[in-house]
Chains A and B, each alone.
Chain A
Amino acid sequence: MTKEAISPGRGPSAVRRILGPAPLLGLLTGALACVLIERFFGQQVSDLLHLPKMPVLFGILTISKVVAGLVNALFKGAAFEGIELLQLPAAGVYFAVVYLLPLIGVGRITAGAANRAAAALARMPLPASALVHLGLMYVTLHVWAGMSDYRLITLNLTLIAVLFTLSLNIINGYMGEFSCSHPAFMAIGAYISSLFTVGLFVDDKVLGKALVAMPMDYLTFPLALILGGGAAAAGALIIAIPSFKTRGDYLAIISLAFLFIVKSLFENLQVLGGARGIAGQPDWATLPVIFAVVVLGIWIINNFVTSTLGKALNAVRDDETAAEAMTVNTRRVKMTAFLVGAFWAGVAGGLLAHVLRYINPAMFGVQKLAEVLAMVYFGGLNSVYGSIVGAVSISLLGEALRPLEILKWIFIPLLLILVMIYRPTGLVAFRDFDLRKAMGPRTDSRPKV
């Protein structure tokens, strides 16, 4: 039953009313049109609007830069020219001209054709339809990120954050524990995969000369990621086994202690570079690789949480005794959840190490924990959509508010507090990720008058 059907008085949401009956396919086409327009005419538009340069993050960055300038002028007496204020409406106009209007226009114009195409795709097997959508999405992201290196790194880190957040949502959202050890799993994954790639293929001061020289060595990258994920999963056993006996706060502490132990271990292992860490990872984590791994991760995790075993996670969360009485093997469920969550956190760590091409133990501390917890609880518990929304919005917000410097750390926590007060389980909690419905045609979902 759709939300509209539950609350008859409200009708379809504002977004849906404006975009009309465009299916996901139509929206993706619209988004592709937007980025193509920006690719070929973005510079002219921004010149026309007298913006200093093309806005990188939908104009939000430009706006927060102006706000930061204003704040500095008010409180620190820095120079500020009134003409800069004109950038605020200019950024808005740029966003409307380049993104909003093409998205709505293309979405509405192609709605009929896109719905027919979506209906045709819906008759094909799900993977084929999904591949078409993903291909379109990848091309859009590729063109968007191709316009500046800053966008590329932001997009890469955001995709990794999505995978990392989702892997924590398995344990904190679906199974209802409060695990604090996820940065440790990420650290293990990052270190083990770096050990593999740097140790084998790169001359390095810490890990010595390259052991192997072979052509097309980047093909071993999946192996490195799997090794990293596997090592993280092995580390997760230390948390998973106590979780048989204890739950809630004590498990939270055990996992927190595990985080401190792993961080301290990496700080003290001089063979792994100690507190300085490992640098010089080969740059194998390109956008297509990350996109493919993250999509694969989302697909597998979604299949896992919608499977019988995944439903058992919810049973354990809601009432462990009742679940046990209903023949749920709680030990196996807990073990699987921790292993799967830690594996994907390790894979995310491996990707992170090869994007930044530098890791050190300080990156995986309590700060990282607060960040990923914020992403999980902001986006929504028990929901794949929620993790995507949480990771993308917190990452983009963090980047977009960067010019505000320290004030950023007042705005983001305040936002989170407000979300927690008004929606305590997060923005899109407890919603199933139904691909078939998301990709299907929209014609029949319009409210009947």
Chain B
Amino acid sequence: MNLNFFMQNLINALQWGSFYALIALGYSMVYSILMLFNFAHGDIFMVGAYIGLGVSLVLLKIVGSGAAALVPGWVVLVATILISMFLTAFVGIIVERVGYRPLRDAPRASAAITGLMIGIILETSNILFLGGQRLAFPQLIESQTYNLGGVFITNKKIMIVLVSIGLMTTLHQFVTRSRWGMAMRAMAYDFVVVPLVGVPLNTIAVMTFAIGSALAAAAGILFGLAYPVLDPYMGVSFGWKAFVAAILGGRGSIMGACIAGFMLGFIEIMTVPGIQIVNRLFELNIGSNLRDLIAYSIVLAILVFRPHGLFGEPYSAKLRL
């Protein structure tokens, strides 16, 4: 394997990992406030992608497309991302109201079940209203390929990685610098005592769901740009894998979720060339569709030796189950 090949895969892994990282953030933030996992989050990602599709189609209709467009494609893209993030935040708020607020005092597993069920309802409604066939995501910006010494980079890949890193930085600034962020951090520290001093738990919870869902919507649109086919079950596999990334990073750790998301993407992309190398070196014939097997074996091994994730706190008696 030469360096070019490695760099090429590294860029693919960065792009793939940024989807995981953006989705994992949603899991992790909800967890840090409520100590619950929002199992509907993968499907919120799916809904976000579809909302993005709808918004972009409407915008393209208004401003026109191709050479006759009123504004360049990237303006439409930015507007699509912002509007869809705003709309998908309401999906998250509804999920919180229906599935999580009534279960604040219930066992945690019950809330996990409502989350799973809301996810199924979202998938089913999608099939019901849109017919279940795969839909194509409009290509809002022209794809350009740059050749950097043998490594091929498209402008989309750069944009996806930059936008996701930008969103993560914004979130980090928000959580560490703003008053609301401080309230969130306080709530994550102790959600029993902090409401007693006047921080509204419900508002913070709603805000967390809204922010997480908005990030998932951004991930959905970026995913639609990179792989322009949407189907109703796209959230299932992605959601569970991002959930794994959120845990791998350490429960409730925002930084951990980002890094673990990129790491999971890296592991998944790199297993295929890894298997090729092993095959060539030892003249074996291992199939390259063992990707899931190897990726999850690595995750399993990490968790066996670091049971509280990469950046998480060790198991504490504070956990309620």
Closest chain B CB from A237 CB (angstroms): 12
Tell me whether A373 and B289 are in contact (CB under 8 A).
Answer: no
Choose the segment among B13-21, B77-85, B133-141, B292-300 that binds chain A (4+ C-beta atoms closer than 8 Å).
B292-300
**CB under 8 Å from chain A, chain B span 93-136:** 98-99, 102-103, 106-114, 116-118, 120-121, 123-125, 127-128, 132
Q: How many residues of B contact A (CB 8 A)?
A: 50
Stretch at the interface among A18-26, A123-131, A145-153, A262-270: A262-270
In the complex, whether B240 has a CB less than 8 A from a CB of chain A is yes
Chain A contacts for B37, CB-based, 8 A: 249
Please report the C-alpha to C-alpha distance between residue A246 and residue B124 in the assembled complex, in whole angstroms: 35
B307 touches A421 (CB 8 A): no
| Interface pair B117/A417, CB less than 8 Å apart | yes
Contact status B124-A406, CB under 8 Å = yes
Which among B132, B287, B296, B321 is the interface contact of A176 at CB below 8 angstroms? B321
In the complex, the answer to whether B303 meets A250 with C-beta atoms within 8 Å is yes
Main SS of chain A's interface residues?
A: helix
Contact A249 B121 (CB under 8 A): no
Q: Which residues of the other chain, B, contact A186 by a CB distance below 8 angstroms?
A: none
The CA-CA distance from A72 to B304 in the complex, in Å, is 52
Known: A257-B299, A257-B300. A248 touches B110 (CB 8 A): no
Chain A minimum-CB-distance residue to B116: A370
Q: Interface readout for A201-241 with B: 1 if CB under 8 Å, 0 if not? A: 00000000000000000000000000000000000001000
Chain A, residues 242-254, CB within 8 Å of chain B (1/0): the string is 1001111110111
Interfacial residues of chain B within 234-284, with CB under 8 A of chain A in the complex: 236, 240, 243-244, 247-248, 251
Q: Is A291 an interface residue (CB 8 A)?
A: no
Contact of B315 among A248, A366, A373 (CB under 8 A): A248
Instruction: Report the nearest B residue to A239, measured CB to CB.
Output: B300
A406 touches B103 (CB 8 A): no
- Which of A250, A406, A425 contacts B107 (CB under 8 A)? A425
- A253 contacts B247, CB within 8 Å? yes
Check if A413 sits within 8 Å of B121, measured CB to CB.
yes
Residues 22 to 67 of chain B near chain A (Cβ within 8 Å):
37
| B 296-321 binary contact with A (CB < 8 Å = 1; else 0) | 11011001100111000001010101
**B317 surroundings in chain A (CB, below 8 A):** 321
Q: How far is the CB of B93 from chain A (nearest CB, A)?
A: 16
On A, residues with C-beta under 8 Å from B are 172, 176, 178, 238, 242, 245-250, 252-254, 256-258, 260-261, 263-265, 267-268, 317, 321, 366, 370, 373-374, 377, 381, 406-407, 409-410, 413-414, 416-417, 420-421, 424-425
Further contacts, 15 of them, CB under 8 A, given A260-B293, A407-B124:
A248-B315, A250-B303, A250-B308, A250-B315, A257-B299, A261-B292, A261-B293, A265-B293, A268-B290, A370-B120, A373-B116, A381-B109, A416-B117, A420-B103, A424-B110
